[in-house]
Amino acid sequence: MEGKGREVIVIRDLKKYYGRSRGVEKVNLMVREGEIFGFLGPNGAGKTTTIRTMLDYIRPTSGSIRVLGRDPVKEGAEVRREIGYLPSDFSMEWRMTALKYLRFLLGMMEYSGRNRIEEMAERFELDLDKRIKDFSRGNRQKVGLVSAFMHYPQLLIMDEPTTGLDPLMQQEFYRLVLEEKKRGATVFLSSHILSEVDAVCDRVGVIREGELVAVETIDRFKEKTGQLMKVRFESMPDTRVFEQIDGISDVKRLEDETLQLTVFSNVDAVVKELAKHTIKRLSFEETSMEHVFLKYYGKQEIRNSTKKEVVP
């Protein structure tokens, strides 16, 4: 993405503290037009704080932000009108039907153009005539998604967007995000789910304990994080053979004749070695966030990965 498209999000030396509590620090980031950018990190890393400063819901302690060419501190209302935003803690007027609520949001945005509420509701199988208070957690999330996409925004900013969605609706969301990219929109997607980022993103920024520690293309990111493979043999082979294959690490012998290993590259060599043995089961599992950080940054230790982020 380097060198293509205008700069849609530019963050320089962003720092945000809540008294003595760290929100974020040392965040420098640029996202270009038409890009799907994944913002990845465990709970408490600083994802939500970064997003809220981008929208001027909170003010930075220091640093600067430009969104769609504007300064959110000076032109917050104008910036928010052009953005489709889904917060992680999306709140609604429970007494309204979904349709009335979404139309209410359009009015609050002073948006009078063509909308696609009905189209989005059909795609997400959302009953617009039902009151929000009667919705399940997943259906309330669908209302939030429709609100983000309904007005053809130039920029979509979504914080944990697939929370509560079933697998089929998650796949529909991924298809929609890729369609928005084709339309020319820019997507900033905050998540702690690696498979979600892998499904749609062009680049990934990794935030750890309030600090942006890396920005990578998705292919480079996957090379560094690897995949977790589990193989159940009829009879366990000598594990040292796998330890000697380049591109393999963390070879562990588990119960029930099962071997676990992390595959970064050289898959062909792994498959050829596996073919010499009788295999009862083989699976790939999603790499955990802790695994990503331990492998991606080596000796850097994960701390407070389940801590809730401090936000007002």
Confidence class for position 185, pLDDT limits 50, 70, 90:
very high
pTM above 0.85, yes or no: no
Q: Name the class of domain 227-286.
A: alpha beta
Residue 123: per-residue pLDDT = 97
Going from N- to C-terminal start, the domains of the chain cover 7-223, 227-286
pLDDT at 252 exceeding the cut of 60: yes
Question: Among 68-82, 92-106, 211-225, 271-285, which is the least confidently predicted range?
Answer: 211-225
CB 230 within 8 A of CB 260: yes
Enumerate the β-bridge partners of residue 62: 15
Which two structure tokens, joined as six digits, stand for 309?
């982020």
Pair 148, 90: CB distance under 8 Å: no
Residue 303 has pLDDT above 50, yes or no: no
- pLDDT grade for 286, boundaries at 50, 70 and 90: low
pLDDT in tens, 14-56: 999 999 899 999 899 999 999 999 998 877 889 999 999 999 9
Average pLDDT, the chain: 88
**189, 200 in Cβ contact below 8 A?**
yes
Distances (CA, A) of 307 to 41, 303, 304, 311: 12, 9, 5, 12
- In CATH, what class is 7-223? alpha beta
Cα–Cα distance between 61 and 206 in angstroms, integer?
21
pLDDT-derived band of residue 293, with 50, 70 and 90 as boundaries? low
Q: Which of 108-112, 222-226, 286-290 has the lowest mean pLDDT?
A: 286-290
